[in-house]
Amino acid sequence: MGRELRRKQAKREGKSLERVETQNDNQIKKYIINIVSLLGVFALIYLLSALFVTKELDWFSKKDKDNDENTIANTILASETFKQSESSYYVYFYDFDEDEKESDITSLVNNKLNEKVYKVDTKSAMNNNYVAEAGNNNAKTIEELKVINHTLIKIEDDKITEYYEKDEITNKLS
């Protein structure tokens, strides 16, 4: 049935074609509104879970992004000890989450050394292969390297030239 025939038949029956079209338009609008509202509900659920459950979004945190206490400058992995670009530098091995008593050594290292100092977290799982009960001050390769918490090593031309542990660091830098 063509458009003209529908119009004639509707005229004979006393119906209006405009109503039929508006009813179809209303149904399409309802479908679109339902789809948009469903998407809105899903977006709201995602946003709430990201904010409160997974903490993926931290809009309400009061941390200052520039002053993050957990960020340690010049942090490297223990496996990168001999791979730095400078010809002479220090590598300081210590627990980044240490207590106040031990932080005196860390502050000495940070303030007294004039050369570049790289820091390695001894508690990190990536560095477990290099942390031992006794250090190896004669290590020539990274495979031989063993350190304890609070060890300061000076590397010159990819070789260990100085090796200090705990109190030796304090004696050297004081």
6-42, pLDDT tens digit by residue? Answer: 888 877 887 665 555 567 778 889 999 999 999 999 9
pTM over 0.85: no
Name the band, by pLDDT with cuts 50, 70 and 90, for residue 46: very high
| Sign, Cα dihedral of 8, 10, 15, 18 | negative
Strand pairing of 88-94 and 151-156?
antiparallel
Helix axes 17-48, 3-13, angle to 10 degrees: 110
Tell me the pLDDT of the chain averaged across its residues: 80
**Residue 68 predicted with pLDDT over 50:** no
**How many of the other CB atoms lie within 10 Å of CB of 91?**
24
Distance between start and end Cα atoms, the chain: 101
More reliable by pLDDT, 19 or 123: 123
